[in-house]
Structures are given as structure tokens and as C-alpha cells.
Amino acid sequence: MVERTKTNHTAMRPRVDRQVVGAAGEFLTAGKLFKRGYQVSVTYGNAKAIDLFVYNPQTGRTFKVQVKSQHRKNCFPVRREAFDPDSIYVFVRLNGPSDPEEFFVVPGATILADIPRYFGSSFRDPEHPSSFPAVNYGPLEKHRNNWGEFDVP
């Protein structure tokens, strides 16, 4: 997951493979959902805006899921225009190999209803978009392990 790259200095600095981080987040999320009794289909990039399809056999409902992953505590880079109110977003922080992962499960509609709160200082009015829009870590805390979103009829 981490490779070493040279910087302007001669020291080696770890470089994170974002593709590996993304795949890890998707598969860990799928595993958590399978463990809870849901049926999960991974799109493997075939559906650009959807990472997982999740079916709840108890309610008969299918959910579109977008997974956003990071390897350590930080904001989650994503444009607000990318959010779909009908999708559920799972933000995954992988942490170190010996540390447990963290999951934050939020409906897209919830984020879109309060853009300033979730995007914080990276939010600007539409005429002046941020050059680095991101969902902040703090507002996600109340959605930690919020797997009940998949039980909504």
C-alpha cells in the first residue's frame, strides 16, 4: 500500500497508492455489510458513480453506495457536485495495519442539506469554488458505524 519515493531532499518519504487505499475501503465496506446480512455487489469501476450496490433482503430495498477512503485521519477530498442525494456515502479511514478501520455512513441527502457544515472552510459560494473541496472529519463523527441507514424501508 505504501511505496517510497524521493523528495527534493535525498530522504525517502512514504507514498500512498490511492488506488490501493480506495480498493481497501470498498472491500472492507463490502465485508462489513455482508457480515450484517446484506447482499453486496462490487462494481469494480464499471459504474463510475457507484462503488457498491447493497440489497437489504429484510426490506427489499437496494442502495447505491459510494465509498471514500483515506489511509489516515484527514479530510476526504470530494467535490460537493459529486454527491447524489439518493446514494449512501461510506467514509473509511484505514489507519495503520494494527489499528481498526473507522467507518462513517451518511446519506448523500444529509450532506447536501448542510454543505457548510460538512465542507467547512473548503466551502465557498458556487461562483468561487474551493481549489481543494473536502468533507471534514469532525462532522462525520456522529455518523460513525451508522449501518442502520441500510435498514431504512
Q: Tens-of-pLDDT digits for all 153 residues of the chain?
A: 555 555 555 556 566 778 888 899 999 999 999 999 999 999 987 777 899 999 999 999 999 999 999 988 888 999 888 899 999 999 999 998 899 999 999 999 999 999 989 988 766 666 666 677 899 989 999 999 999 999 998
Q: Which tens digit of pLDDT belongs to each residue from 77-94?
A: 998 888 999 999 999 999
The architecture of the domain spanning 13-151 is: 3-Layer(aba) Sandwich (3.40)
| Residues 6 or more apart in contact with residue 76 via CB below 8 angstroms | 68, 70, 91, 134, 135, 137, 140
| Residues 6 or more apart in contact with residue 96 via CB below 8 angstroms | none
**Residue 12's pLDDT is what?**
63
> Can you tell me the distance from the alpha carbon of 106 to that of 31, in angstroms, rounded to the nearest whole number?
18
Q: Which of 153, 152, 114, 119 is nearest to 136 (CA)?
A: 119
How far apart, in Å, do the first and last CA atoms of the chain sit? 38
> Can you tell me the distance from the alpha carbon of 150 to that of 134, in angstroms, rounded to the nearest whole number?
24
Q: Domain boundaries in the chain? A: 13-151
